[in-house]
Amino acid sequence: MKSRGYRRKTRSLLRRNVRERGKTGLSKLLQQYNPGDRVLVKLNPSIHKGMPHRRFHGKVGIIESTRGQAYIVNVTQGKAVKEIIVRPEHLEPFQA
């Protein structure tokens, strides 16, 4: 019976490019977001803590509030609006 884990079928999706490997910079970790900011959910596979499900990778969301060191982000999925908890390592500022 095959595995149906949380990171199933992510071999190519959750892989960093050769030049992106290594430790994540401090500027990425210390990035501050305010409620109402638009952010891109871009998963960092080297950091497992605070990582949302892979279905949200590449989606744009709106910061609702903070929860500890993480952020509550509203992401649309079809007609539904999902509320996910994400740490800043997996977020990027969104420029349209």
- Beta carbons within 10 angstroms of residue 86's beta carbon: 22
Question: Does residue 87 contact residue 49 with C-beta atoms inside 8 Å?
Answer: yes
**Domains by residue range for the chain, with CATH:** 18-93 (2.30.30.70)
| Spatial distance between the Cα atoms of 73 and 36, rounded to a whole number of angstroms | 10
Question: Does residue 33 contact residue 71 with C-beta atoms inside 8 Å?
Answer: yes
| Spatial distance between the Cα atoms of 41 and 86, rounded to a whole number of angstroms | 8
- 4-13, 38-47, 66-75, 84-93: lowest mean pLDDT where? 4-13
36-67: per-residue pLDDT in tens? 999 999 999 999 999 999 999 999 999 999 99
Q: Answer yes or no: pTM beyond 0.85.
A: yes
Decide: helix, strand or coil at residue 64: strand
Decide: helix, strand or coil at residue 63: strand
- The predicted pLDDT at position 61 comes to 97
